[in-house]
Structure formats: structure tokens, C-alpha cells
Structure 1
Amino acid sequence: MLISIIIPIYNMEKYLDKCINSVINQTYKNIEILLINDGSTDSSIEICNRYKLRDKRIKVINTDNRGVAEARNIGIELAKGDFIGFVDSDDYIELNMFEKLFDLVNKNQCDMAICGYFIEDERNRIIKVGDPKNEVNIFNTEEAMKALINNGNYTSFPVDKLYRKSLFNDIKYPKGKIYEDADTTYKLIHKCKRVIYDPEPLYHYVQRSNSISHSFRPEMMYRLEIDKNLTEFIKVNYPMLIKDVYPIWYRTNIQLLISMYLSKYEDDELYKYIIDNIRKNIVYILKERNIINYKEKIIAVSSCISFNMMKEVLYIINKVRHI
């Protein structure tokens, strides 16, 4: 069966060779590679065209700059494969990733396969392995949803997965929004009858020191809306999981607070809004045991006591150990 691998690209000339080489050298050969050049202003398009001449499986699609979500949507619309996978253009993958994921889907009659991942720095030093557990799990729809919202096995990352293409028949990534994966993955899982997860790390997620994803921006507040959408979705479709989903919104507030501090972002009204959300739910935050860790609880409590204490706690935690 044909797998369509979609790579959104925007000004990634420094990393593109490593990414594309890891895809064209996959041990699973029946693939098409869709390079979606999202209005790059560097030499990314020249690199794409060079690879296109070398490998007939590669298609290059040029668009004006519309963002990663729309680049993925364009790739999905053009994909001819039975299955779809995504790779970010500043990351790379193990050479057997798509062979392994396809075997998992095909042999177990699943609609989605998920693998583990490495988080590493620009020198390829491993910072974290996504899931240290070593067991394969096959989930029904409810179990897969529970694993997602509890962050127990895998995350909403779009790139460590292989999807049956039909899952996207009426689902698109939200255009012009950040965290587009968090607003989409749960909808895709909802359409799956079976999901298989293998924690073997096959995807390399590279954290860049200058990445904008590490800096707070006001549009990141959209994550709170996503969490509310997810909560309503769970309430309607999986009422038995409603207690599992509530802590996600609580934790997002804490994480936004941390991001604002680390980015030295100054906005008293925004700080007040987030801290008010935390204060109103502090009892539930302290009781939660699955998603919110002890550092986040300490930060939440300190924010309820005083703004200055919260800043002191964040400073100490960040100095002793990176958040």
C-alpha cells in the first residue's frame, strides 16, 4: 500500500537535507513524498527541487505563506496514498519508521499507529525519550482517547503517527492557529476503531534554541480554548472520561504562566487572568494525581499567595532544574 509522507517547509534550509534524506531512505519503499513549500524566502525551494530531480517519488508544491496547518491540509488533499504520515522539516526519522508503523497497522487491523520519539538538542544529544515503557498496546476508541488525554502513552503530536487516510475525510487542521495538532488529534482518534502504540522511539524531535515555540506569544492563549473544546467533546462523546479531561485545562494555565515567565513577557492583565483561573481551581489542582506534577502544583500555590512569590519560586525551580 502507498504511504503519503507530508513535509511542511518554511525557511528550513539549514535542516532540510537531513530531514529529506531520512525520508527518501526509508526501508518501506512504496511512498510518495509531498514537500509543501510554505512561501519560504531562503533556499528551501532550491533544495526541494534538487531532491525532486533525484527521486521520482518526490512532489514539490509551492504556496504562499499560510502556516503549517494549511500546509498539512494541502498535502492531505493531494495525497494519493492509503495512509498518511507527517514529518516536520527540522526533524528527522529512523530509517525503518514507516515500515514499522505500517506493519503495526496492517497486521493488527488498526486505523492509526503511533511510535515513541526522542527529544534532542541541536547537537543530537538526547534530552528525553517520549515514553520509557517498553510494551505495545492496542486500544479501542475509548482506551485510545483516555491514553491521549491522560498523556499516559502518547501526545497529540501529528508526526509520530501513521494514519489511515480516510480519517481525514471530514477533518482539517485549523487554519492560522497554533497548537493545531491538539485541536485535531482527538477528533482523528474518535474515528478510529483500533489504535496501536509501540513505544520504540523512531521519530527525532529536535528542539532548536531559537525556536519560537519556546517563547510566549499572546496567541498561545488559544490553547485554553482548545482545552475547553476538548472538554465539551469528551462530555458529549465520552462522559465516562470527563474527570480525566478537566485537569488538562488547569495544567495549561500553569504552563502558560511558566512560559510567560521564561519569555520575560510583561502583561499584568494576562498574568491576572491566568492566576485567577488557577486560584479558582486550586483545590482540584492539588488533588489531581495523573497530569499535574509536583513542580506545577508548587507554582500554582505560590501564584495564589502572591505574584512576587510565584516569580521567586519560578526563578528557583528554573535555576535548580530546567522546567
Structure 2
Amino acid sequence: MLINSKQFLKRIFIFFIFLSFLQLVGSNPISKDTKDKSNKGKEVKVNKDKAEAKVKEPKIKVSVIIPVYNTSKYIERCLKSALNQTLKEIEIITINDNSSDDSLEILKQFEEDKRLKILTINQNQGAGVARNIGIELAQGEFIGFIDSDDYVDERFYEFLYKYSKDKYSHHRKLYGYGAPVDSIWKKSFLDKYHIRFPVGHEVGEDVKFRKAFMRMKPKKIETPDEGIYYYYKRREGSSMNYKSDYIKNLSESNSEGVEKNNSTIIGIEETNSNMMDMKKEDAPSEGHFIKWMVVIGVSLSVVTGIVALSIFLYKRKRYNQFDENSMKEKLINDKDVNIEDNI
């Protein structure tokens, strides 16, 4: 009787298991709401690429800073080139460095454009101070600079932003000056390491700014292949004119190329004073090469300097001569510097 009772209980247990199985098979699928509730508190895997694509673009992509000092003859063209950029998420910050001409009045003609900010310094303090003020006020993801007597291609900042996105810097190829105006700079990187221009009317503030930037070892450098342009204009009294005795002795055509690029000479002096013994007529081209070496942080010993300079001189024929009045500088393409009359 005991054995039969055990068998009976066993059969009952199996029967209930079988009924439970039938009930489970015949039940409705779990609803979406039920699934959502069941997923609460659990780790959910997300496609990173798709998630990043949905990240909202910054409201202002590039803040363009323009120091202005007595450039009434050129500032309208400069400002129009900045406001007419194909990159629309842009702000223009102009800092009037106590100009004594009509520069401020010309700026005010454009003040209805909400992208334009106009500030005035009561005492002339130099482009470095003006640029630093602009950096502090900038709200863009990247920062760009234009000298008020220069202007840029309408696609200039669109291309630079495209290739600098998610990178800390953008640099053009070897054959160029390397001034801050040829690049856009990650604002968060400048703020993190407090990278600013030297204050006062210093000669060579451009190269010092770039060297301070490169000293912090930015993560990536990108060099696109498309050709876009930054247009330089020579004028008397420009802060970029370097009036040393060395340059005064250069020929008219060569000295013009160096005047707009005083930081090159400073870079040579700071890196290797022995290189100042180069032939006067060759100074501008060699200067560009050595400046580039300074920017990428290569220490020029006497031996490596001679070897590198020899290689450069071999290729020097590819360069065009600087025009008497102005020059058109190609930033992105690795071809020769292009010159255009009466820019």
C-alpha cells in the first residue's frame, strides 16, 4: 500500500508538470511593454557608431577672431569674406584695438548681423591681447583667426572644420608659413593648457603661440588634399612687418615675402642661431623650412640642420617668387605657393 501511494504521488507530480508545460506553450508571447519593464536595471548594449551619429552638432562650430587696428582700407573686404562663409554655424568676433581711423565705423555697418560681435579696447595693446580677448569670449568648438587686412576663401572654414572635426589641430603641408591664421584650434584644448598669445607688441608672437600649442602634444594632425585659400595683403605699418637690419638688406622681392612672416625669422633665431649665416637672398625660403621644423618640434642640430637644408635647397626650384604687391597663399594643397597680382 505504501509503494502504491508513492507511485501515485509521483504520477500526480508528473501530471502537474505536464499541465504546466502545456500552459506555458499555449500562453501569449511576452508583450513589448513587458519586455521594456523586464529590461529595467539591466545593461543594454548600444551601437556606438549610431549613437555618435545622433549626437547634436555644436551650435557654433567655429569662432573667427579678427583683431582690428587702422585697417579701414581693408576691413570691409575681410569682414565680408568671414560673413559669407559656406559654414553657417559661425561667429565673428572683432576686437577694435583703439583704431584712429574709420575701422570701427565700418564694423558698425555690419552690426545687424547677429553672428558679429564688436568690441573696443580703449588703449592700443597689440594683436596678441586682442586675440586673447577673442579666445576668452569665443563660444565655438574651434577658433580661427584672420588679420584684418587679409581675407579668406568662402569655403575656408567649412573645409578646415570638416578635416579638423574630433581632432585638436589642423595643419597645412610643408610648403607654408605656419601662422595661426592657417589653422583652426580646438578651444577646449587651448583652455585646458591655457595656451594664449604673448601680450604686448611682440615680434614673433605667432610662432610662440604655435610652439606653445605643439608643446602640449595634440593628439592628431590632419592634412586634407583639397585646395582652399587664405589671402595675404601687405601694407605699411602692419604688425607682421619685421623691420630688422637683416631684412632691410634683402632684395625688394624677397624682403616682401619675409615682412608678412616675421615669425619665421624669430623661429630661426630661437632654434639655431648659426643658421642666420645663410645667404641673404635665400633667407625667405630657408626660413619657411626651418620654421616648419620648429613647429613639429624637431631639434635642429648642426648636422641634421645641414642635411635637411641641403635636401630642401635641392627642391627649392619648385617655389614661385613673391609678387611685388601681394600674394595668394595656397594652404591645403602640397603644390607650390600660388601668386596672384593685386589681390
32-41 vs 192-201, which moves further? 192-201
2:188 is the counterpart of 1:166: yes
- 2:64 maps to 5
- Name the residue aligned to 2:206: 181
Say which of 168, 171, 186 aligns to 1:111: 168
- Report deviation, 1:42: 0.4
Match of 1:289 in 2: 309
Contact in 2 for aligned 1:15/1:91 (Cα 8 Å) = yes
What SS does the corresponding residue of 1:181 show, helix, strand or coil? helix
Matched, 1:18 2:77: yes
Residue 215 and residue 226 in structure 1: after superposition, are their counterparts in 2 closer, same or farther (change >3 A)?
Answer: closer
Question: What is the aligned residue count?
Answer: 220
Q: Give the Cα–Cα distance (whole angstroms) in 1 for the partners of residues 204 and 63 of structure 2.
A: 23
For 1:27 and 1:6, locate their aligned partners in 2 and report how far apart those are by CA, in whole Å.
Answer: 17
Instruction: Tell me if structure 2 keeps the 8 A contact 1:223–1:252.
Output: no
What SS does structure 2 have at the residue aligned with 1:289?
A: helix
Shift of 1:89: 0.8
Gapped regions of structure 1 (runs ≥ 5):
116-130, 132-151, 232-245, 261-280, 297-323
The CA distance in 1 between the partners of 2:188 and 2:213, in whole Å, is 10
| Cα drift, residue 208 of structure 1 | 1.9
Match of 1:198 among 210, 217, 224: 224
Q: Distance in 1 between matches of 2:138 and 2:235?
A: 33
Do the aligned residues in 2 keep the contact of 1:8 with 1:38 (CA within 8 Å)? yes
Question: 1:114 offset after TM fit, Å?
Answer: 3.2
More strand by share: 1
C-alpha deviation, 1:252, in angstroms = 4.6
Change (3 A) 1:194 1:285: closer
Residue equivalent to 1:148: none
Contact 2:144 2:185 in 1 (8 A): yes
Question: Which of 111, 120, 124 is the equivalent residue of 1:62?
Answer: 120
Quote how far apart the aligned CAs of 1:211 are. Answer: 5.5
- What does the per-residue CA deviation read over 1:77-112, in whole Å, with 9 as the maximum and x for residues that have no partner? 111111100111111111111111111122xx3111
CA contact (8 A) 1:214 1:259 kept: no
Matching residue of 1:304: none
> Is contact 1:178–1:219 with CA below 8 Å preserved after alignment?
no
In structure 1, how many angstroms separate the alpha carbons of the residues matched to 2:178 and 2:219?
18
Q: Does 1:95 align with 2:95?
A: no
Task: Decide whether the 8 Å contact of 1:224 with 1:253 is kept in 2.
Answer: no
Gaps of 5+ in 2: 1-57, 248-261, 284-300, 317-343
- SS of the aligned residue for 1:5 comes to strand
Other structure's SS at 1:51 match: coil
Residues 197-234 of structure 1, C-alpha deviations (whole Å, 9 max, x = no match): 225442333242635545523799997775565x5xxx
| Cα distance, 1:205–1:291 mapped onto 2, change above 3 Å | farther
Once the two structures are TM-superposed, the CA of residue 27 in structure 1 deviates from its matched residue by 1.0
The one of 234, 240, 243 aligned to 1:216: 243
d(CA) in 1 for partners of 2:177 and 2:101? 31
- Alignment CA distance shift 1:291-1:16 (3 Å): farther
**Gap change, CA 1:167 and 1:174, over 3 Å in 2:** same
Q: What is the 5 A alignment of 1:43-62? A: 43-53=102-112, 55-62=113-120
Matches within 5 A, 1:200-279: 200-208=226-234, 210=236, 212=238, 213-214=240-241, 216-217=243-244, 227=268, 231=271, 246=272, 249-252=273-276, 254=278
What code does the residue aligned with 2:231 have? Answer: Y
More displaced, 185-194 or 21-30? Answer: 185-194
**Alpha-carbon separation, structure 1, partners of 2:156 and 2:125:** 28
Q: 1:292 to 1:191 in 2, by over 3 A?
A: same
Moved more, 203-212 or 219-228: 219-228
- Partner of 2:207, secondary structure, is coil
Give yes or no for contact 2:169–2:221 (8 Å, CA) kept in 1. Answer: yes
Contact 1:216-1:259 within 8 A present in 2 as well? no
Distance of aligned partners of 1:32 and 1:200 in 2 relative to their CA distance in 1, 3 Å threshold: same
- Cα distance in 2 for partners of 1:16, 1:193 equals 35
User: Percentage identity across aligned positions?
Assistant: 32
Deviation by residue 1:165-217 (Cα, 9 ceiling, x = unmatched): 02222111111311111112122133410011225442333242635545523
TM-score, with length taken from structure 2: 0.55
CA distance, structure 1, for counterparts of residue 197 and residue 311 of structure 2: 25
Q: 1:35 aligns with which of 83, 94, 112?
A: 94
RMSD of Structure 2 on Structure 1 (CA): 3.4
Aligned partner letter, 2:208 = D
